Amino acid sequence: MANSGVSNWRRLLRAWDVATSAIPGFRTFLSSGWNFVLPPACVACGTELGPHSHAINSVCLLCLACRQEFTKIADKPSCLRCGAPVGPYVNSENGCQECSRDRFAFKNVYRLGLYDGVLRDAVLKGKYPGSEPLLMSMAQLIWEYHADSLQNENIGLIVPIPQHWWQRLRRQHHAPDVLAEAWGRCLQVPVGLPILSKRKWTRKQAHLSRADRKKNQLDVFRVHRPLRIAGKTILLVDDVLTTGATADSAARALKAAGAKKVVVVVMARVVGHH
Ligand SMILES: [Zn+2]
Ligand SMILES: [Zn+2]
């Protein structure tokens, strides 16, 4: 019902997968014909992708310039707890400058870069309907950088941060759902869409102070079907992590309902939000 936009899109994607994977070489044939009619463009900046650009593949439609911008710090050291960048020899097992005052219920944060410049533009663009190709490309890029670590986490279920039913009615498109679906395909792990729901209407986090963000997110999430998460490591998906208050609240609810561990993946991390 309210998720019909997302699920129709997902059904279409699966049907396309099944139809085109049945005949070897069919996808290449189709895409080369299509590229001739309408040359593919970068889903972030719109630059036409050259015919021999190795940025062109069926999953990640980003030009090399955008890829380089998005991944500037993707493989640089980051805080193990919160994903903020740290110096090369800093031991961040107990947190960093950004998170040392926080007690998070999640363990690790995987992200591409900082919420700034073109990455910020991409995150904002991803909030609007029709941005699925961009979100899928971003998910693929994060996968390229964090596949080994994510596979080592032994993820049992992927759970996107949900939106309140009223928000869902107003805007069916929800970036975390699309990202979760993409990482589900990478990890070959199911996505638990009806696992977590948001039971309280919350004020927009962006307008609140750090302390108010925590209060705003207190006891917001409810877990359905706890048997599906019992004893599992959950990959919690959001588009951006600011103070960590939302992810913390969701992780608390999941752990209280029996999850063994919660790790977080986002496109970007906001730092310096005190
Ligand atoms: Zn681009
Ligand atoms: Zn930290």
Q: pLDDT class for 2, splitting at 50, 70, 90?
A: very low
Of all residues in the chain, the percent with pLDDT exceeding 70 is: 76
Ligand nearest to the CA of 98: 2
Confidence of residue 59 (pLDDT cuts 50, 70, 90): confident
Q: What is the pTM of this model?
A: 0.81
pLDDT tens string 80-104: 899 999 988 888 888 898 898 888 9
* Confidence class for position 224, pLDDT limits 50, 70, 90: very high
118, two tokens? 């073109």
Please give the residue that has the higher pLDDT: either 32 or 208: 208
Pick the ligand that lies closest to the CA of residue 67: 1
Distance from residue 54's CA to the centre of ligand 1 (Å): 13
Question: Can you give the pLDDT at residue 165?
Answer: 78
Nearest listed ligand to the Cα of residue 243:
2
Position with higher pLDDT, 218 vs 138: 138
pLDDT for 61 equals 87
The pLDDT value given to residue 163: 87
Which pLDDT does position 150 carry in this prediction?
95
pLDDT at residue number 94: 82
Question: Across the chain, what does the average pLDDT equal?
Answer: 84
- Quote the ligand 1 centre to 140 CA distance (angstroms): 15
Distance (angstroms) between ligand 2 centre and the Cα of 21 equals 42
Spacing, Cα 169 to ligand 2 middle (Å):
35
Q: What is the pLDDT of residue 1?
A: 43
CA distance 163 to 176: 9
- Residues within 5 Å of ion ligand 2, judged at the Cβ atom: 79, 81-82, 84, 95-96, 98-99
- Lowest-confidence segment of 26-30, 111-115, 247-251 by average pLDDT: 26-30
Mean pLDDT value across residues 233-251: 94
> Which of 66-88 are b and which e, b meaning 16 or more Cβ less than 10 Å from the residue's Cβ?
bbebbbeebeeebbbbbbbbbee
How far is C-alpha 77 from the chain's CA centre?
Answer: 20
Ligand index nearest the alpha carbon of residue 141? 1
Q: Which overall architecture, per CATH, does domain 76-269 show?
A: 3-Layer(aba) Sandwich (3.40)
Mean pLDDT of the 54-66 span:
74
The answer, yes or no, to whether residue 32 has pLDDT greater than 70, is no
How high is the pLDDT of residue 209? 72
Cβ neighbors of 115 (< 8 A, separation 6 or more) are: 123, 240, 242, 268, 269, 270, 271
- Identify the nearest ligand to the CA of 78 by its number: 2
Distance 57 CA to ligand 2 centre (A): 34
Give the distance (Å) from ligand 1 centre to CA of residue 229: 38
From the CA of 104, the nearest ligand is 2
Query: pLDDT for 125-141, tens place per residue?
Result: 999 999 999 999 999 99
Higher model confidence: residue 8 or residue 7?
8
Q: Cα–Cα distance between 161 and 180 in angstroms, integer? A: 9
Contact 59, 70 (CB under 8 A): no
Average pLDDT rounded to a whole number, residues 31-41? 62
Cα separation values, 179 from 1, 100, 139, 237, 239, Å: 20, 28, 6, 7, 8
Q: Output the CA 254–ligand 2 centroid distance in Å.
A: 21
Return left, alpha or beta for 235; rule: phi > 0 is left, psi -120 to 50 is alpha, else beta: beta
- pLDDT of res. 204: 67
Long-range contacts made by residues 121-130, C-beta under 8 angstroms, separation at least 24?
121/44, 122/44, 122/66, 122/70, 122/267, 123/175, 123/239, 123/240, 123/267, 123/268, 125/44, 126/175, 126/178, 126/239, 126/267, 127/173, 127/175, 127/239, 128/173, 129/5, 129/171, 129/172, 129/173, 130/173
How far away, in angstroms, is 108 Cα from ligand 2 center? 9
Is the per-residue pLDDT at 157 higher than 80?
yes
